[in-house]
Every structure is written in C-alpha cells, then in structure tokens.
A = this chain, B = another copy of it.
Amino acid sequence: MKVNGKPYRTIWIHPQNHKIIQIIDQRKLPFRFVIEDLIDLESAEKAISDMLVRGAGLIGATAGYGMYLAALNLKSENFKGELMVAGEILKKSRPTAVNLKWAVDRQLSEIEKLDTYEECVKALLETAKTIADEDADMCRMIGEHGFEIIEKISAYKKGATVNILTHCNAGWLAFVDYGSATSPIYKAYDSGIDVHVWVDETRPRNQGARLTAWELLEHGVPHTVIPDNAGGHLMQHGLVDLVITGADRVTKTGDAANKIGTYLKALAAKDNHVPFYIALPSSTFDWNISDGVAEIPVEQRDGREVNYMSGFREGREQDFLIMPKGSNVANYGFDVTPSRLITGLITERGICDASETGIKTLFPEK
C-alpha cells in the first residue's frame, strides 16, 4: 500500500542489488519511517527476533528470504547441511510463529533434489519471492471477497459513509501487502466507496493507534483513532456499520482468538445488530481445536507493557510510567470470541459462516 504517495510492500528485493532484502523497521512507526537492509542470516534472524517485522505473513516471508540470504554467504561443499542449521536458527527467532517453520521447511524441501550451489541459490530466491507473492495474493483475495460486504452496505446506505471499526493491526504491515482486516477497506477506498475507519487504540501495545492509524493515514483512508472503551457507545448510536478484525487462530468451529478486547467488541456488535467479521488467511485455521475458549491457551505478556507506555517527545521515543509503581499488573495477550458472536469469516476462498459446517463449505478437504 502507499507510504507518502508511493506504493510499498513490507519486504522487497533491493531495486539495484538483488543480494539485499529491504524491510520497514516497524518498531519505529508511526514516528519514523526507517528502511533496513537485510544482508545475511544474522540480520534476517534479528529482524524477526527483535520484531522489526511482525505478523504471521511477514514473518514467513522474512524467513523465506532469510534462507536465501543465508545461502548467499555459504561457500563450503556442505552448504545444504549449513542451510539446515540456518533454518534451525531462523525457526528459533520467534518460536510461536507457525509460518516461520512452514517457510523454512518449504525452502529446504525446494532444494532437496537440486545439485549445484548456483541452482539452490536461484531456487531459494524464487521460492522466497513466491512465498511473499502468495501471501500478498491471499490478502488481495480476502479484500476482493470482503469488498462485497462493504459494497452492499454502501448501496444500502445510498452512498453515505460506511463506518468500519477495527481492533489492533491486521493491516498490510502484518503481511506482505493489503493485510487481512484492512484489505477489504483498501479495496473499497481505492474503488471510490466512501469509507471511514474507527481505529481501536488497542491497549496495551497500541498497535491500532500506532500501526493501523499510520497505514490508513499514509494510504489516505479517512479514519479516527478511539480509545478501546468507545466502540460500544458508537455502536449504540448507529455510528458503526461493520466490524472487521483479524485473528491469531480460528478453530474448526469458528471461534476466533485475536488481540485482547476483540471479544468485547463482538458482544457490542451483537447487542446492536452490527455485522462482525473476522478476516483471515486459511493458514490461521487450527483444524485440531473445537472449543476456542476452553482449549486455546492465552499467553500472558510482560507487565511492563501495562505500567509503562511508549511515546514520542523531544525528538525521540521514550517509556513513561503511567500508574503507581507498587500496583500489580496483568497483561493477557488475546481473548477468544465465540463463533456465536461472529457474522462470518472472510478468507481467500470466500466468505463463510463461523461454524464447522460453514467452514467445511469453503474447505471441504479438511
């Protein structure tokens, strides 16, 4: 999507030098837009572990390119063995990211039957590109399908502004391009539909206020940042036509784990007859789990994300204490929205009910 009027992806090959991969250092957003060069295994591993890149899709793509960068610096006869070691290093850079393992294993299987070093490097670059392109395509398709929902609401409202609420960042920054929850919104905006986005701040890490707001601002999409507390009031007063969020994991029955607070918005949407959609690439489904609330373990994160807050002042980003030092804090990473509160799931294959039957209509092979 656009940054300062120019189209970007979150990861790309340096235009003058195909031995350099470039990324956006997302830790510095929204205050500074900094592009970093990845030149070897170490810089790729660091980009993932230090969270310069985040989001399942982008982590997978970075791992794909990371394998290619690792190969560039291998000269020994046993480069395949060394690549397996490189893969293990990448896999450990963020142990819970399933796309990471998937991308590394895909790269390793691509070169399995190849002989020469040159063939392997070429294949690794091509596959890394493919992994990135597939991710972008999948998000684009989510946008195509989700767009139909927005288009219908716009028609029903006779062209008046369609107000869409989103929580956290399921934007292009979390993928290679387009995003999941944001993809239908970008498509609608680019198609000339009058859209406006309510951006939940998304405490405690503020991914909404920092990343989603930045994305929408740079692409030109009208939006308003609100405290996470505001969504219920907005829905009570007819100021939200549609909610779309992403998901970290969706059960085969349609329960959705997503950033903490999503469940509260789903309850408010239900109470006010506002359609509530989850947008996800099919890789987000967990086909082994049925009861999201009971079975999905919810990670507790560092309390420092709650009692300190990061902000910009005097030309630099700093941490500030925002409550009494002696008070305990708790920091649950996400919550689970039961399928009964979800109007539908928007996937790259189309839209389905958030139910085992609904999901099976789109994914009969599962």
Chain A residues near B (Cβ < 8 Å): 30-31, 198-199, 201-204, 206, 209-210, 213-214, 216-217, 222-234, 236-237, 259-261, 263-265, 267-268, 271, 293, 298, 306-313, 318-324, 326-332, 334-336
Specify how many copies of this chain sit in the oligomer.
Answer: 2
What are 26 A-B contacts defined by CB distance under 8 Å?
Answer: A31-B321, A201-B203, A203-B227, A203-B228, A209-B322, A210-B324, A213-B323, A224-B328, A224-B329, A225-B307, A226-B329, A227-B228, A227-B331, A228-B261, A230-B332, A233-B260, A233-B298, A233-B334, A263-B268, A264-B267, A308-B311, A309-B309, A312-B320, A313-B319, A313-B321, A320-B320
Docked pose: A25 CA to B231 CA in angstroms: 32
Asked whether A322 lies within 8 Å of B330 as measured between CB atoms, the reply is no
CB within 8 A of A264: which of B198, B231, B311, B321? Answer: B231
Residues of B within 8 A of A216 (CB): 327
Residues of B within 8 A of A328 (CB): 222-225
Docked pose: A234 CA to B319 CA in angstroms: 27
Asked whether A335 lies within 8 Å of B261 as measured between CB atoms, the reply is no
CB within 8 A of A263: which of B236, B311, B332, B335? Answer: B236
Asked whether B261 lies within 8 Å of A227 as measured between CB atoms, the reply is yes
Docked pose: A330 CA to B259 CA in angstroms: 22
Asked whether B236 lies within 8 Å of A206 as measured between CB atoms, the reply is no
Residues of B within 8 A of A335 (CB): 229-230, 232-233, 236
Known: A230-B335, A232-B267, A264-B267. 13 other contacts (CB 8 A): A198-B330, A203-B227, A206-B323, A216-B327, A223-B328, A224-B329, A225-B307, A225-B327, A227-B228, A228-B261, A263-B268, A264-B265, A311-B322
Docked pose: A308 CA to B322 CA in angstroms: 12
Docked pose: A260 CA to B260 CA in angstroms: 18
Least Cβ distance of A326 to chain B in Å?
Answer: 5
Question: Which residue of chain B has its CB nearest to the CB of A340?
Answer: B271
Residues of B within 8 A of A321 (CB): 31, 311-313
Given A213-B323, A263-B268, answer yes or no on A227-B306 (Cβ-Cβ < 8 Å). Answer: yes
Residues of B within 8 A of A327 (CB): 199, 209, 213-214, 216-217, 223-225
Asked whether A227 lies within 8 Å of B204 as measured between CB atoms, the reply is yes
Residues of B within 8 A of A227 (CB): 203-204, 228, 260-261, 306, 331
Q: What 9 A-B pairs come out closest when comparing CB atoms?
A: A311-B320, A229-B261, A233-B335, A209-B323, A203-B227, A313-B320, A30-B324, A267-B267, A232-B263
Residues of B within 8 A of A271 (CB): 267
Question: Which residue of chain B has its CB nearest to the CB of A305?
Answer: B227
Least Cβ distance of A4 to chain B in Å?
Answer: 12
Residues of B within 8 A of A298 (CB): 233
Given A313-B318, A335-B236, answer yes or no on A329-B225 (Cβ-Cβ < 8 Å). Answer: yes
Docked pose: A143 CA to B224 CA in angstroms: 40
Least Cβ distance of A2 to chain B in Å?
Answer: 14
CB within 8 A of A322: which of B199, B206, B222, B334? Answer: B206
Docked pose: A355 CA to B110 CA in angstroms: 68
Docked pose: A126 CA to B323 CA in angstroms: 37
CB within 8 A of A318: which of B234, B237, B267, B320? Answer: B320
Question: Which residue of chain B has its CB nearest to the CB of A236?
Answer: B293
Residues of B within 8 A of A263 (CB): 232-233, 236, 268
Asked whether B30 lies within 8 Å of A226 as measured between CB atoms, the reply is no
